[in-house]
Structures are given as structure tokens and as C-alpha cells.
Amino acid sequence: MSRHPEVKWAQRLDKVFITVQLPDSKDSKVNLEPDGVFTFSGSAGSENHHYELKLELFDKVNVEESKVNIGVRSIFCILEKAEKGWWKKLLRGDGKPPHYVKVDWDKWVDEDEDNGTAGLGDMDLGGMDFSKFGDMGGMGGLGGMGGLGAGGMAGMDVGDDNEFNGSDDDDDDDEQEVSKPDKSGDKAESAKPEAEIEGGSSEEKKEAAAAAAAAST
């Protein structure tokens, strides 16, 4: 059974902003039709729950000029309205909007404040890289982008941990290798003075014998 992701929306005179809140989404597919039908599907979570979404927008849109960014935390869409004008609501029909569709107050401006010049310049997009719906053929080709979330990073973290563990083992080996020659060196140095003392006693004996022989002659 599929689930519905949370959706936030806002608008300008010529645009509609739709944000699908689905962190670390995988196999994300977004599609937009000229008559205003917006669809999304993808999976997320440790159990890979499947999420689906279909929104019948209030009016028609310009697919060629509409853009989408599939990020790690959300899917952000900028939909270009086919005709400039303030929509009374996001979805067509007389019923109440679904509970998972909410107003994005962070991006919202009132109609009397929107004079047609308040576009993307008044928004912080954080360096998002957008792709046009028209260029991607329904965005089906972007499925792999959603898979660049936590899964890939987790694999990198595990690799780093293994490398650190390996370096710790190497450090232990180095310490053991360094301690071995120190011990043998101590033995060599402790044995050396004894040999020198014995050697010194022999020289003294030779010198004494030579002196005695010289005295006798």
C-alpha cells in the first residue's frame, strides 16, 4: 500500500512552488502535464516504503518552462503558469484539499504584495541545480538522483571507519616493532662493558710481564 508524502505550496503571479517533503527519496519520478496534472512516486525509509502523489492543479501550466530539483531532503518544483494570474487555491474542484497538502508560509506572499516582480530573487534557493520538465521527458530519467542520499554516504562512512581501525592496528604493530630492538640493544650494551674490563685486565698482565723481563736483564 502506497503512502502520501507531505506537500507544501506557495505561488506568485506567474509561478507555483511545490515542495514534496520526502528525505532520502529513492527512484523518484516526477511528471507534469500541460493541463495541470502533477504526479510523483518514490520510496524512502529503512523499509523502502512506496510513496505516490497525484495533484490536479487549479489551472494549466507551461511544462517547458517549469523546473524541478530532486534534493536529499525534498523535491522542489517551480511550475510556470500557462497564464499569469493569482490562483484561488492549489487544486481544482470544490472539495477540501487533502490533509497532506499545506501552505508553505516560508515562501508565501499575499496577492496585494505580489506586483509581478517578486520572483525567485526574494527566495533563498541554496544553490539548487534545476532541470526543466520539458528537457527530461517527464523526469523519469532522474530516478537515480534520489538514490544519492544517505545510502551512499553510509557506505563511505563505513569505509572510513575500516581505514581508521586499520591504522590503529598498524600503530600497535609499529610500537611492538620499535620495542624489540630496544631490548636487544640494552643486552648488547650491558655485555660490552664486561668485555672491555676483561680486555683491560689482560693488557695489564702483558705490561707487567714486559716490565719484569726488562728488569731482569
Nearest-angstrom CA–CA distance, 95 and 29:
27
Give me the chain's average pLDDT, please. Answer: 72
Nearest to 104 by CA among 180, 24, 18: 18
Instruction: Tell whether 161 is covered by a domain.
Output: no
Nearest-angstrom CA–CA distance, 53 and 101:
11
Instruction: Tell whether 137 is covered by a domain.
Output: no
Q: pLDDT band for position 100 (50/70/90)?
A: very high
**What percent of the chain is predicted at pLDDT more than 90?**
44
Largest CA distance in the chain: 141
Instruction: Tell whether 154 is covered by a domain.
Output: no
Instruction: Tell whether 158 is covered by a domain.
Output: no
pLDDT 10s digits, 41-88: 999 988 899 999 999 999 999 999 999 998 889 999 999 999 999 999
Task: With a cut of 50, say whether residue 208 has pLDDT above it.
Answer: yes
Instruction: Tell whether 70 is covered by a domain.
Output: yes
Kind of pairing, strands 131-132 and 26-32? unpaired
Task: With a cut of 90, say whether residue 114 has pLDDT above it.
Answer: no
pLDDT 10s digits, 29-38: 999 999 999 9
Nearest-angstrom CA–CA distance, 173 and 29:
52
Nearest to 90 by CA among 29, 36, 28, 34: 36
Instruction: Tell whether 45 is covered by a domain.
Output: yes
Instruction: Tell whether 7 is covered by a domain.
Output: yes
Range of the domain at 13: 1-84
Q: Which of 1-10, 134-143, 152-161 is the least confident region? A: 152-161
Task: With a cut of 50, say whether residue 134 has pLDDT above it.
Answer: yes
Instruction: Tell whether 72 is covered by a domain.
Output: yes
Q: What is the DSSP string of 106-121?
A: TT---GGG--S--SGG
- Whole-number pLDDT of residue 135: 58
Q: How many helices (H) and strands (E) does the chain have?
A: 2, 9
Q: What is the dihedral of CA 199, 202, 208, 209, to 10 degrees?
A: -140
- The CATH number given to whatever domain includes residue 47 is 2.60.40.790
Task: Domain count for the chain, please give it.
Answer: 1
- Whole-number pLDDT of residue 154: 33
